[in-house]
Amino acid sequence: MGLFKGKLSSEVFVAVKVLNDSTGNGEEFTNEVGTMARIHHVNVVRLVGFCADGTRRALVYEFLPNDSLEKFIFSENQNSNTLGWEKLQDIALGIAKGIEYLHQGCDRRILHFDIKPHNILLDHNF
């Protein structure tokens, strides 16, 4: 699996997640893409599109410029990466709102199962 920054047009950057080669007819991938395409919430990264070519698959997401919470917390420049209580509260509330939407706001409940700092992406407001 790999993650790449891409560009759709002169103004639109995306994150392209290339998945490991898959087996089967792609029905599971198609179902997952269909579910993800119906997710629309400010605190959940938006799926822009997807690619499927034989056993190769890729997901195309909106690009969030400030990387992950994990990279922020554990960067080499730790001394300058101190978060105040207000910013910590904003991050925690954003995570909670996103999870609540996935659990109760979608037409079909979605369980993430992998919430961790690596998967918490920071947008331009961070």
Domains with residue ranges and CATH for the chain: 1-63 (3.30.200.20), 64-126 (no CATH)
pLDDT over 90 at 99, yes or no:
yes
The catalytically annotated residue of 21, 53, 107, 114 is: 114
What are phi and psi for residue 20, nearest 5 degrees?
-60, 150
Instruction: Say if pTM beats, i.e. exceeds, 0.85.
Output: no
pLDDT over 90 at 94, yes or no:
yes
- Is 114 tagged catalytic? yes
